[in-house]
Amino acid sequence: MKLIIAVIRPERLEAVQEELQKVLDEDDNYRITVDAVEGHGAQHGEVELFRGQAVRPRMIPKTRIMVGVNDKYVEPTVQAILRAARTESGGAVGDGKIFVTPLDECIRIRTGERGGGAI
Amino acid sequence: MKLIIAVIRPERLEAVQEELQKVLDEDDNYRITVDAVEGHGAQHGEVELFRGQAVRPRMIPKTRIMVGVNDKYVEPTVQAILRAARTESGGAVGDGKIFVTPLDECIRIRTGERGGGAI
Amino acid sequence: MKLIIAVIRPERLEAVQEELQKVLDEDDNYRITVDAVEGHGAQHGEVELFRGQAVRPRMIPKTRIMVGVNDKYVEPTVQAILRAARTESGGAVGDGKIFVTPLDECIRIRTGERGGGAI
Amino acid sequence: MQGTVQATIDSGSTAWMLTSSALVLLMVPGLALFYGGMVRKKNVLATMMHSFIAMAVIGVQWVLWGYCLSFGSSHGGVIGFDASLLGLSGVPHTRLFGDKGIPELVFVMFQGKFAIITPALISGAIAERMKLRSYLVFIVLWSTLVYCPLAHWVWASDGWLFKLGVLDFAGGTVVHIAAGFSALVLAILLGPRRDHRPGGGHAIVPNNLAFTLTGAGLLWFGWFGFNAGSAVAVEAPVSGAVAGLAFTTTQAAAAAAALTWMLVERLHQGKATSVGFASGIVAGLVAITPAAGHVLPVNALALGVVAALVCYVAVQQKNKTKLDDSLDAFAVHGVGGVVGAVLVGVLCFTPVAGVLQGSFAQLGKQLVGVGVSIGYCALMTLALGLLVKKLFGLRVTEQTERDGLDIAVHGERGYHLES
Amino acid sequence: MQGTVQATIDSGSTAWMLTSSALVLLMVPGLALFYGGMVRKKNVLATMMHSFIAMAVIGVQWVLWGYCLSFGSSHGGVIGFDASLLGLSGVPHTRLFGDKGIPELVFVMFQGKFAIITPALISGAIAERMKLRSYLVFIVLWSTLVYCPLAHWVWASDGWLFKLGVLDFAGGTVVHIAAGFSALVLAILLGPRRDHRPGGGHAIVPNNLAFTLTGAGLLWFGWFGFNAGSAVAVEAPVSGAVAGLAFTTTQAAAAAAALTWMLVERLHQGKATSVGFASGIVAGLVAITPAAGHVLPVNALALGVVAALVCYVAVQQKNKTKLDDSLDAFAVHGVGGVVGAVLVGVLCFTPVAGVLQGSFAQLGKQLVGVGVSIGYCALMTLALGLLVKKLFGLRVTEQTERDGLDIAVHGERGYHLES
Amino acid sequence: MQGTVQATIDSGSTAWMLTSSALVLLMVPGLALFYGGMVRKKNVLATMMHSFIAMAVIGVQWVLWGYCLSFGSSHGGVIGFDASLLGLSGVPHTRLFGDKGIPELVFVMFQGKFAIITPALISGAIAERMKLRSYLVFIVLWSTLVYCPLAHWVWASDGWLFKLGVLDFAGGTVVHIAAGFSALVLAILLGPRRDHRPGGGHAIVPNNLAFTLTGAGLLWFGWFGFNAGSAVAVEAPVSGAVAGLAFTTTQAAAAAAALTWMLVERLHQGKATSVGFASGIVAGLVAITPAAGHVLPVNALALGVVAALVCYVAVQQKNKTKLDDSLDAFAVHGVGGVVGAVLVGVLCFTPVAGVLQGSFAQLGKQLVGVGVSIGYCALMTLALGLLVKKLFGLRVTEQTERDGLDIAVHGERGYHLES
Ligand SMILES: Nc1ncnc2c1ncn2[C@@H]1O[C@H](COP(=O)(O)OP(=O)(O)O)[C@@H](O)[C@H]1O
Ligand SMILES: Nc1ncnc2c1ncn2[C@@H]1O[C@H](COP(=O)(O)OP(=O)(O)O)[C@@H](O)[C@H]1O
Ligand SMILES: Nc1ncnc2c1ncn2[C@@H]1O[C@H](COP(=O)(O)OP(=O)(O)O)[C@@H](O)[C@H]1O
């Protein structure tokens, strides 16, 4: 089992969810957890003006998704994210990153079930 | 050492904290980090109405907790979360999930201490 | 590769970013993802007053940073965080913690690149 | 009402009464912000809606029968009634109100805004847990059976308390004592919120205190209409000397009370909170309400100081109990209303002399007025509350309370600030 | 205008008209909050700015030439013009307005606020996607070529619709039908937002409904100036019987409509939303606008009920189409304006009798007024919209729409609440 | 004061002055929102409280001794004093103010609101770092020793600047120059916020610009009372021709200035910000203040344009320095006040002729008025600021500044929006 953590552009979340739905489950019940984060990287944020001065934000709003998957779903999930999160016309700075980390155990709280079936 | 990440119902946080307190420390100083996330899974969100139309939220507000623990505390922690986060009368869809991931190192910033003692 | 997750005081973020910049990259493009969390530990939060009563917040606002690094950068990164996040005059309760977790894979969404080069 | 009838309209008085009526209406959104800011995020809309709903439902009720019951021909000083006032059908728009040189419809409207805000004040005690349907039915019944009679007793020229000589310039008894003590009873009937803990706790934090401060500002602003407009009862032109006096005492009392609360809280608790400051404003405004046209500006300052001290203590005491008067409707409006209504008897200099000038008679009358209002409102609220409880239940389900009333009852969330 | 000229100023009438003018101005920030709360977080400032910008640009235009075109000497009942009114240079501040005992400048200002709010109302239909420059140019053209002529026709004493006897007390045709139908046309020209889905969807959620409720409260408050101030057209003193009537009917209709909307929505959808309640308030206020000084209070209640029902259905119907009238400028102002303008002919009792009293003549005139307004506004908006589209384009880029107009157009974000 | 005394009350004038006083009070919550929206989230309450506290403390001070010093019998044109005015004890509520037909108490209240808002304006320069106790003591001293004398010089009929013939219709010198230049001095004494960087930076972002826009809207609304109410000094009835003129010029200048700022900023920086627009509104309102009853509407447009241009440049220049006038109290109120006070001498046509009409005398007087105000306010603020610094220190601790004043000083957080 792996825990996949991806940082993407907020406006891409919808597309990513649609792709994940395709690979993770035939019906709507693919599982995912999302939060809003701020990132710093090669991309520079939109300059804001405040009281006549440019304010250059250090950080850019990003969306982070966390998906726990069984091993055979790792590659499809990564591919789905890549497909949907990449800016049209070949990707642009700021598209983000996918991290795959090991997952030792997964427990469904409702039932107490463990392991692959609980994902 | 493990890093335990659990996604639970927001209204269960208080109960989870009380249970964790029991297993992780006799006094109040159990350690935990919490953030607000949104989840998608089997559970469907409360429908909202906006200007006469149903707006079906794609995502449901959830709370995520992150606890770093030494190995012998892993199971008690998981059990504590299971006890407190499960909806009364045997669990309900949307109760959430616990992920246990490996933790290579843990450093207390205040002292620079490392390893199990720093958790 | 490791995924370093640190919980720090919000007011230390700026300093941490400056230190990370020094060790991770000569120019501005060190990469980091940040979010706002709430923590519970040895430190007690600022009491608030509401309608004549003390409201003791269970949780204290903290900032969490997540950095994916190649192995040889782990120690410099940890050291940079320690330097910048520790309260002057030798650290204070609530300075936070650094967690180092294994990272199996890292993919740059823009290019699809994998592994150390994509970090 | 009293005296010779002025045959023509006075455009200045009418201008002021139109303005005052509008100002009092604005107090309702002001109250919505004041209360709405102090509840948890999940209940911000439900709490604001309590005030807004009063605008709608009492707005209709007042036209249909509320005015009729309050200011129709008196039946024994106990209740008003004129079939011709139902639906205001018998009030030609050209008819003037007594000798005040304003159209009667304008008086109807001015009084109607008071009828609206009074039940809205009660809603501060029942925030975050009352059923919407029950609230709606309750305030219609309450307005009809509590507010209208009381307004008749105190303000109609044949009302029995009016004839007794009880002074209530702009609503210390009719509005604030009525709302405050009814709030107390209703809060007891409802029981505390599930997260309520005597002496504080973790769970209940205000979502937006900037709203609360803004609301307090709107209340202060609107209160000038409330108090200075109430000169309509005593003087023509309405925008005259008494209105000027009432305006001045209102300003003085609010300022003195806010300052006092801030200083006391700083001394007692170490910090001067914005909620405390706002409560001080409201306490001062409440207490000056029955006294506004009857006391000197410098005595209004004193009244403000006393009101802030007493209400501060009331809030502190209440905090030690299990009573969940969620937004201090009782401790500020009930207690502040009593302070004001009693002190009128001490401080008044016009039209009658008070204790300060050596006469104790008025103080006695004020105590009667206060006692009667408290007793009547408390008993009736108990009865109506139990009735509504029987009919529909008073509280939302535990699940609804946990999830928040905004989503469960209104199908909305106050804010969507995530993305 | 009509009748003998009163030689001196009436301080009461002037006081009320100054107050009313200020109240109508406050409706613009009120509208900004009302609309601003309903868009997504990324467009809150851009949406509020639509209203604020109207204050600035029409504020200037009205002084320079707007008043001149609307209320200058009539040329065939079709348009006004007096070189001396350009820049108001020929209006000495001591000159009185007709026989109303108020300075003409005060009348200029009162009317100017109406000219400001009308294009601001339109902005509800084009939220979250229109180019700023195009909006700016459009409203200047629209105000000059649509609003000014229409105001002249309906309100100037030589205007052809006025002479025909069309009743429009405070702007059912000139303001609400004009804004609502122009909004419809402009929304069609612009096309829907990229995330708009007939029948709802996930993506479009309001950022702050507490703002929306507060805005509705400010609108209600300001509307008293709007409607009761419009007595300036018919009676001296202005703050007199008709003003009192208009105030009363305004209050009654708003309350009845809000209550109706709440109940209907609860029955139909299972929940009573705050947005619905606020829409009910506005629908009631819109519908009573043309009728305020012409109908009885109890009929105003009925008018409010009907307006809420009809507008509710209009919103529901619209939701099934692809039309993206983002904040229901058409379904509330357009439809509500028609309801009010038509029902005046049914319910009016002063200065002429309506259908209720057995006379059908006025209803016919009202239908003419409604038809003419709809036709003129729709056609002209189409023409001006196409012109502006040709010149600058109407829509922002897709990228800007996605990122939000606040950051892309104004270089700002509405909130920084992170840390 | 001047002229024959009118024996009876004028209800229309009184209605307008009551309304105006209420309107000016509302500017204080308006200012609180305007300023509160522009600071960081952690200081929103502390910043709003600066304005609110002025309502309380100056509200009390004005009744006790402020009015006495400003408008008591003149001692050499330098200061007023009448023992009988202390606590207003010697002002029977039936006493009229001069020949204006309004109760003197109403004049007291109207002027009192000016006394309240002036120190609140200063707070824009010291946001996010000043000690609460020091602020409180400072504004009491400042109001007593700076505001009251200056008001006496300029507005009391025996004041030396008044007798010299300096024109200041509604407070260009007394309010805006006084506040603006005092703000400058205090900002220098305090030093910049720790995160302040000349030329911008990352760290300081506004928490809620919707509040700032709303606040600007409330200021615009309230300013009609401020300026048109100031006709009380020159004409009876007060709600007459001059009030109408002042209302018109206020509207014209605000609209023109907002439009100008928007266009200039768009050209110069590529974006039209809402903060810029709001600053334009305020700059226009500030500049027209001394001129409101003295210039033609079309010249008010010009004045608004000039004010926006000059203040825009002032903000830009200030941004290059280390001066941390946090919310531009100096660049808008100080500079805008000078623009207005000087241009009165150019544009005025009533009651005296200005440069436009060929007379240079008034311009000279205006320059004297401006110079005296600047010099007196700057010096006195320096002295008082140093005194308060000596007594209590001016700045909060570094830790408090970092944590935010809301939690550290008031024990509160503005928002709890997490859950
Ligand atoms: N090594 C990393 N550790 C943590 N977050 C990262 C890392 N690399 C990228 N990110 C996240 O991804 C976002 C996009 O990265 P950026 O460098 O702008 O894009 P790209 O890699 O496509 O050039 C960053 O803002 C940051 O939030
Ligand atoms: N595999 C997963 N990866 C990421 N988040 C998950 C996963 N499974 C569950 N979650 C989180 O847990 C929440 C509850 O899951 P849900 O499927 O509704 O409940 P249950 O598993 O009890 O049926 C989801 O909203 C989501 O945030
Ligand atoms: N084992 C842990 N698991 C999760 N979060 C932790 C853990 N230990 C510390 N934290 C986070 O670090 C913050 C600071 O910890 P605290 O115990 O107050 O400081 P210290 O360790 O320096 O005494 C906590 O509020 C919490 O967010």
Q: Which domain holds residue A73?
A: 2-118
Q: What is the mean pLDDT of residues D339-344?
A: 98
Q: What is the mean pLDDT of residues F64-74?
A: 98
Phi/psi for D378 (5° steps) reads: -65, -45
Of residues F239 and C61, which shows the higher confidence score? F239
How many Cα atoms sit within 13 Å of E378 on the Cβ side?
12
Nearest residue in chain E measured CA to CA from A47: E411
When the pLDDT of each residue in chain E is averaged and rounded to a whole number, the result is 96
Residue D181 CA to residue D204 CA, distance in Å, equals 24
Is C18 near chain F, with CB under 8 Å?
no
pLDDT > 50? residue F134: yes
Whether C97 and B3 lie within 8 Å, measured CB to CB: no
- For residue F376, what are its two tokens? 């007196």
Q: Give pLDDT, residue E419.
A: 58
Is A28 near chain E, with CB under 8 Å?
no
Q: Give pLDDT, residue A65.
A: 97
When the pLDDT of each residue in chain B is averaged and rounded to a whole number, the result is 91
Is E412 near chain A, with CB under 8 Å?
yes
For D118, the 3-state DSSP assignment is: helix
Q: Give pLDDT, residue E1.
A: 37
Is B10 near chain F, with CB under 8 Å?
yes
- Please give the span between the terminal C-alpha atoms of chain B, in angstroms, as a whole number: 9
Find the B103 Cα to ligand 3 centroid distance in Å.
Answer: 15
pLDDT in tens, F24-67: 999 999 999 999 999 999 999 999 999 999 999 999 999 999 99
Q: Give pLDDT, residue E200.
A: 75
The 3-state secondary structure of chain F, one letter per residue? CCCCCCCCCCHHHHHHHHHHHHHHHHHHHHHHHHHHCCCCHHHHHHHHHHHHHHHHHHHHHHHHHHHHHHHCCEECCCEECCHHHHHHCCCCCCCECCCCCCEHHHHHHHHHHHHHHHHHHHHHHCCCCECHHHHHHHHHHHHHHHHHHHHHHHHCCCCHHHHHCCCCCCCHHHHHHHHHHHHHHHHHHHCCCCCCCCCCCCCCCCCEHHHHHHHHHHHHHHHHHHHHHHHHHCCCCCCCHHHHHHHHHHHHHHHHHHHHHHHHHHHHHCCCCHHHHHHHHHHHHHHHHHHCCCCCHHHHHHHHHHHHHHHHHHHHHHHCCCCCCCCCHHHHHHHHHHHHHHHHHHHCCCCCCCHHHCCCHHHHHHHHHHHHHHHHHHHHHHHHHHHHHHHHCCECCHHHHHHCHHHHHHCCCCECCCC
pLDDT in tens, D266-297: 999 999 999 999 999 999 999 999 999 999 99
- Please give the span between the terminal C-alpha atoms of chain C, in angstroms, as a whole number: 9
Task: Lowest mean pLDDT of B5-19, D368-382, E238-252, F335-349, name the range.
Answer: B5-19
List chain D residues with CB under 8 Å of B49: 410-412
Q: Mind telling me how many Å the CA of A1 is from chain E's nearest CA?
A: 31
Mutation target to probe the F interface, by most F beta carbons within 10 A, among D18, D25, D128, D221 is D221
Report how many domains make up chain B. Answer: 1
Percent of chain F with pLDDT over 70: 98
Whether B48 and D412 lie within 8 Å, measured CB to CB: yes
State the closest ligand 3 atom to the C-alpha of C60, by its place in the atom list counted from 1: 25
Q: What is the mean pLDDT of residues F156-174?
A: 98
The confidence band for D2, taking pLDDT boundaries of 50, 70 and 90, is: very low
Is D192 near chain C, with CB under 8 Å?
no
Question: Nearest residue CA, atom 7 of ligand 2?
Answer: A31
When the pLDDT of each residue in chain A is averaged and rounded to a whole number, the result is 91
pLDDT in tens, D145-188: 999 999 999 999 999 999 999 999 999 999 999 999 999 999 99
Q: Give pLDDT, residue E3.
A: 40
The confidence band for A27, taking pLDDT boundaries of 50, 70 and 90, is: low
The confidence band for B36, taking pLDDT boundaries of 50, 70 and 90, is: very high
The confidence band for B28, taking pLDDT boundaries of 50, 70 and 90, is: low
pLDDT > 50? residue E298: yes
- For residue B88, what are its two tokens? 């009364």
Mutation target to probe the A interface, by most A beta carbons within 10 A, among B100, B103, B104 is B100
- CB within 6 Å of ligand 3 — which residues? B 31-33, 66-68, 108, 110, 119; C 7, 39-43, 60, 62, 93-97
Pick from D237, D248, D275: CB nearest F11: D237
- For residue A6, what are its two tokens? 């991806």
Is C29 near chain A, with CB under 8 Å?
yes
The residue to which tokens 């809301």 are assigned: F406
Nearest to B62 by CA among B114, B27, B12: B12
Q: What is the mean pLDDT of residues E227-254?
A: 97
Q: Give pLDDT, residue F1.
A: 37
Residue C106 CA to residue E234 CA, distance in Å, equals 77
Q: Mind telling me how many Å the CA of D253 is from chain F's nearest CA?
A: 9
User: In this structure, are residues D231 and D5 in contact, taking their beta carbons and an 8 Å threshold?
Assistant: no
Find the D305 Cα to ligand 3 centroid distance in Å.
Answer: 46
Question: Nearest residue CA, atom 13 of ligand 3?
Answer: C96
Q: Greatest CA separation found in chain C? A: 58
pLDDT in tens, E5-58: 446 999 999 999 999 999 999 999 999 999 999 999 999 999 999 999 999 999
Q: Give pLDDT, residue B19.
A: 92
User: In this structure, are residues F204 and F196 in contact, taking their beta carbons and an 8 Å threshold?
Assistant: yes
Nearest residue in chain F measured CA to CA from E14: F239
Nearest residue in chain C measured CA to CA from E417: C36
Q: Mind telling me how many Å the CA of E209 is from chain B's nearest CA?
A: 10
Whether F412 and C11 lie within 8 Å, measured CB to CB: no
ipTM: 0.96
Instruction: Please report, as a single letter, which amino acid is at residue D348.
Output: C
pLDDT in tens, E77-91: 999 999 999 999 999
Question: Nearest residue CA, atom 25 of ligand 3?
Answer: C39
Residue E266 CA to residue D133 CA, distance in Å, equals 11
List chain A residues with CB under 8 Å of D419: 10, 36, 61, 63
CB pairs under 8 A between A and E: 17
Question: Nearest residue CA, atom 19 of ligand 1?
Answer: A94
| B98: CATH | 3.30.70.120
Pick from C5, C58, C101: CB nearest B17: C58
The confidence band for F200, taking pLDDT boundaries of 50, 70 and 90, is: confident
- Spell out, as residue ranges, where chain C has pLDDT lower than 50: none
Is B55 near chain E, with CB under 8 Å?
yes
Percent of chain E with pLDDT over 70: 98
Pick from D207, D270, D417: CB nearest F416: D207
pLDDT > 50? residue F5: no
Q: What is the mean pLDDT of residues F102-107?
A: 98
